[in-house]
Amino acid sequence: MRHDQNYKELLTAFFREFIELFFPEIAKGLDFSEIHFEDKEQFRDAKKRRGKIVDLLAKVRLSDNEVYVFIHTEIQSARYRGDFSERMFWLYCRLYDKYRCPIIPVALFTYPKKSEPKKNTFGISFPFGKFLDFRYLKIELKTLNWRDFLRNPNPLAAALMAEMGIDPKDRPKVKLECLRTIVKLPIDEDRRLLLGDFVDSYLALNPEEQQEFQKIVESDFAKEEPYKMRMNQWTQKGYDKGKEDGLTQGLNQGLNQGLNQGLNTGREAMIKTLNGFIRIRFPDYLSEAGQMLDQIDFKGLAEIGEALSGFETGEQAILFIRKRLPAM
């Protein structure tokens, strides 16, 4: 999904900042002068009869010696059908078996709504003893308060605030604070655009929010014309994009945008997005799924959108979709 790809691009460009922002003690022990990313590392799950591509795998040297470690980051944007901790352990074993190097596992949860805290352990135990206690680091963005990162000098904080816990009434203000920071960062233009486009994608404003945002920009940047022009370009781009695409911004963001545009337009866009995802993930089931999606109401489509990326097989997806069909 494009959502996961957005994160991969962002974290690849700001990997050092990612570790420094959330795991500062670990960052102190690493040498970031050379970071190597393993491209599309894939392993076959014989039991589930499908492959799994590792989201992000970075190779970094320890700062005090020549030992290299791998930092494996999984980006989880929707509810996982199964034991996610078991999957993290399975990937850890596959990676260690291949590289025989120390591995630091990280899970980045980017759910569209705040949910129950996720466990980050997987164990095997019996009444007579515990034989496995696997743990991984986790970040749950929606549980974080954007205000706690407002004055953080880390460039990545300015982008990820857009995905943290935000009161709906604060959306224009949060976008302003994100972009205010980004336009003034002492970084190269390509990295600045990457940060700004990320914020733009996840905080696309509706017409009312757009007006409020514009008023704040005009007031706060009255004497800073270059910054004001950049802010206006970004927010207008995001507004036009949200207006044109509706739910196609992604399954997770689609519900809110679709509601802003009207249920009919949102429903058509949601169906288009779901079909696009199925075409990539479960191509053999595209025709069957497409026929069923056309019969499902907006609420049912939204439920499918939240769950779809967590399915391991096309059969699971079809069964879930079939249960959302209207009663005959």
What is the per-residue pLDDT for 68? Answer: 94
In a domain, 62, yes or no: yes
Same domain, 190 and 92: no
b/e map 41-64, b = 16+ CB within 10 Å: beeeeeeeeeebebbbbbebbeee
Which of residues 88, 120, 143 is at a domain's end? 143
> What is the pLDDT, as a whole number, of residue 239?
46
pTM strictly above 0.85: no
Comparison of pLDDT for 52 and 123, the residue scoring more: 123
Is 172 found in the same domain as 79? Answer: no
Query: Do 174 and 118 share a domain, yes or no?
Result: no
Alpha helical stretches, state H, 14-149: 15-22, 24-28, 84-99
* Average pLDDT of the segment spanning 169-195: 90
Look at residue 42 and tell me if it is in a domain.
yes
328 located within any domain: no
Q: Of 109, 125, 143, at which residue does a domain stop?
A: 143
Q: What is the pLDDT of residue 286?
A: 83
Written as six digits, the tokens of 107 are 């899970």
Token representation of residue 104: 């630091």
Predicted confidence band at 243 (pLDDT cuts at 50, 70, 90)? very low
Based on the fold, state whether residues 175 and 221 are members of the same structural domain.
yes
7 shares its domain with 136: yes
Does one domain contain both 131 and 176? no
Residue-level pLDDT at 51: 60
The overall average pLDDT reported for the chain is 82
| Average pLDDT score over residue span 296-309 | 83
- Look up the domain containing 270 and give its range: 262-322
Higher pLDDT, 30 or 78: 30
**132 and 206 together in one domain:** no
User: Are 30 and 106 contained in the same domain?
Assistant: yes
Number of domains present in the structure of the chain: 3
Domain identity same for 54 and 134 = yes
Same domain flag for 226 and 154 = yes
Q: Which of 126, 143, 160 is where one domain is finished?
A: 143
